[in-house]
Amino acid sequence: MASATTHDHAHGHGHGHDHDHHGPGPWTRIFTTTNHKDIGSMYLWFSLLMFFVGGAMALLIRAELFQPGLQVVQPEVFNSLTTVHALVMIFGAVMPAFVGFANWLIPLQIGAADMAFPRMNNWSFWLMIPATILLMASFFVPGGAAASGWTLYPPLSTQGGIGVDMTIMAIHILGASSIMGSINIITTILNMRAPGMTLMRMPMFVWTWLITAYLIIAVMPVLAGCITMLLTDRHFGTSFFNAAGGGDPTMFMHIFWFFGHPEVYILILPAFGIMSQIIPAFARKPLFGYASMVYATASIAILSFIVWGHHMFTVGMPAAGQLFFMYATMLIAVPTGVKIFNWIATMWRGSISFETPMLFAIGFLCMFTLGGFSGLVLSIVPVDITLHNTYYVVAHFHYVLFPGAIWALMAGVYFWLPKWTGRMYNETLGKWHFWLSAISFNVTFFPQHFLGLAGMPRRIPDYALQFAEWNMISTIGAFALGFSQLLFVYNVFSCIRSGEKAKERQWDSADSLEWTHLPSPVPYHTFETPPDLRGTNAAH
Amino acid sequence: MWDTFRAVFWAFLGIRSSQGYDEDRKKLKIHHVIIAGVVCALVFVVMLLMLVKFITAK
């Protein structure tokens, strides 16, 4: 986002020279850039666009559910909307947004000049465009978009039209893009740290991304294998998941969720990293238990591989299997709880101020904890058997992912916008954005717990009359939530165009290298000569 | 080796005292920690399986 304003700043600190006025024109630059800041901005803009595309689908879903009966869309379209809403939000909005942050911040925070493989970085971004076109175009082909839910369970996914194949190809391409991004991130972190930036001095955001990148490399090929088997079942006569041909649809679920559960942590670990940067900055205290945070993140990553079965308690599994996955799932709450306590301990007796990033961070803490608790409820096998496939589950994962992943991203944008653009956002508008989001989010999703407990199934366009009131309230909340996000867009645009000038160290207690060593906005080229951090206190 | 396993044990719990962390920084090597992490994850799975077997035994 800084790209528009990078040409008129002063060159401070002896870092680099601003070469961009000699570079290619704006369009050529977009296609050919290998600069991590350009690519980071492109990822962020793309994910913002996809956030609104996925959000529009969510509003169509909620509009249909405003009243019982069918009013807005046909049931097949409704099923496609639930499927593609999830895929767009996961693969098009949240993951690319975190990669955007990684591109912008990792080189700045470890004192590197750029990412390790700049051309591959460009390729990772541009791969997402054909994938997205495939996914969105699938709505307009015969048979419509995939309608099996984002999990693509067979036999639903073996029955659909060409839209399913387009979805499979889109996921393949997005997976390849994520893997390339991860290789880039791991190589950059392990090989390009400035002298003195040891692993255990890296900012938490860098640590969480290092671990996330390993998770991506571990599980994306599993997803690719899974959907390739689906593709060969659909077109090439195999029967991996077809019981009539000797296959087993349950196997799809096991393979899918072996990817799917670590994916949940791929979506949340970088959010933990952003929180660990923001909370200390506004509490004006160092992060409590830095080592614990690193250890807990690694622990969560390992445990994430042994809990997949909790997504399929009702599928048919021996009691011993159910117990194993129940215990493992409950135990993963321990390192996650450690993180929550560490953030609270960081704030304890701190000199806290409540600027917009901190509001979103505290909102994250409260709401994510609530989502975590409903997750613990669902981890109990007999309870899950009752609540599986109800709106309780929808409420649970939206509590984890909206205030978890999305609010962390919002907090991160407000936090680093002054550094990226050299200008300040409007604080009053930011606070309005937070409070409107906080209230409307809870109006939307808290009633869904009640709906789920009362037995309303998910992914159904129509429902029984007794669910009408809470659905109506939930839809009103959803529209308020959706339209509140326009404030964010306005704030970002007005910040870039005409925000007040930001200080070099806008947040006085932010202590990572981009705040302590670089001017605002950051120059187009940074750390061409890596800073020497040996013997200094520059740290997490 | 014991130091590595002790650090990984604390990592599984997700907490570490600053004194222990300072010792870790001086003594531990990253590839030892990764190997110990994988071994401990396997031990953890086996322990859970034994617990489940014990509970479901008739």
Report the b/e string of B41-51 with b at 16+ CB within 10 A.
Answer: beebeeebeee
Do residue A324 and residue B49 have CB atoms under 8 angstroms apart? yes
Please give the DSSP secondary-structure letter assigned to residue A423.
B
Token pair of B4 as six digits: 């590595």
For chain A, what is the mean pLDDT? 92
Task: Write the DSSP assignment of A192-238 as a string of letters.
Answer: -PPTT--GGGS-HHHHHHHHHHHHHHHHHHHHHHHHHHHHHHHHS--
Q: Residue A539 — very low, low, confident or very high, per pLDDT cuts 50/70/90?
A: low
A405-454: pLDDT as tens digits: 999 999 999 999 999 999 999 999 999 999 999 999 999 999 999 999 99
A239 with A233: CB under 8 angstroms?
A: yes
Q: Residue A257 — very low, low, confident or very high, per pLDDT cuts 50/70/90?
A: very high
Confidence check on the interface: ipTM exceeds 0.85, yes or no? no
Cα Rg, chain B, nearest whole Å: 14
Chain B residues whose CB is inside 8 A of the A299 CB are 11-14
Q: Is A304 a catalytic residue?
A: no
Of A261, A256, A257, whose CA–CA distance to A240 is shortest?
Answer: A256
Q: Measured between CA atoms, how close is A346 to chain B, in angstroms?
A: 15
Do residue B13 and residue A334 have CB atoms under 8 angstroms apart? yes
Distance CA A11, CA A497 (A): 21
B38 pLDDT above the threshold of 90: no
Distance CA A374, CA A382 (A): 14
A89 pLDDT above the threshold of 90: yes
Token pair of A119 as six digits: 């051309």
B11 touches chain A (CB under 8 A): yes
Q: Which residue in the set A303, A327, A334 is minimally distant from B51, CB to CB?
A: A327
A18 pLDDT above the threshold of 70: no
A189 touches chain B (CB under 8 A): no
Q: Is A263 a catalytic residue?
A: yes
pLDDT value of position A7: 40
Q: Is A261 a catalytic residue?
A: yes
pLDDT value of position A514: 94
Token pair of A92 as six digits: 């098009």
pLDDT value of position A126: 96
A67 with A468: CB under 8 angstroms?
A: yes
Of A9-13, A114-118, A165-169, give the lowest mean pLDDT range.
A9-13
Q: Which residue in the set A289, A302, A323 is minimally distant from B15, CB to CB?
A: A289
- pTM for the structure as a whole: 0.91
How many Cβ atoms are within 10 Å of B2's Cβ, its own excluded? Answer: 6
Q: Residue A23 — very low, low, confident or very high, per pLDDT cuts 50/70/90?
A: low
Using CB atoms within 10 Å of the CB of residue A498, give its burial: 0 to 12 exposed, 13 to 18 middle, 19+ buried. Answer: exposed
3-state secondary structure A97-131: HHHHHHHHHHHHHHCCCCCCCHHHHHHHHHHHHHH
Of residues A453 and A8, more confidently modeled: A453
Do residue B45 and residue A339 have CB atoms under 8 angstroms apart? no
A77 pLDDT above the threshold of 50: yes
Which 3 state secondary structure label does DSSP give A25?
coil
How many Cβ atoms are within 10 Å of A39's Cβ, its own excluded? Answer: 26
Q: Residue A15 — very low, low, confident or very high, per pLDDT cuts 50/70/90?
A: very low
B51 touches chain A (CB under 8 A): yes
Q: Which residue in the set B14, B18, B30 is minimally distant from A335, CB to CB?
A: B14
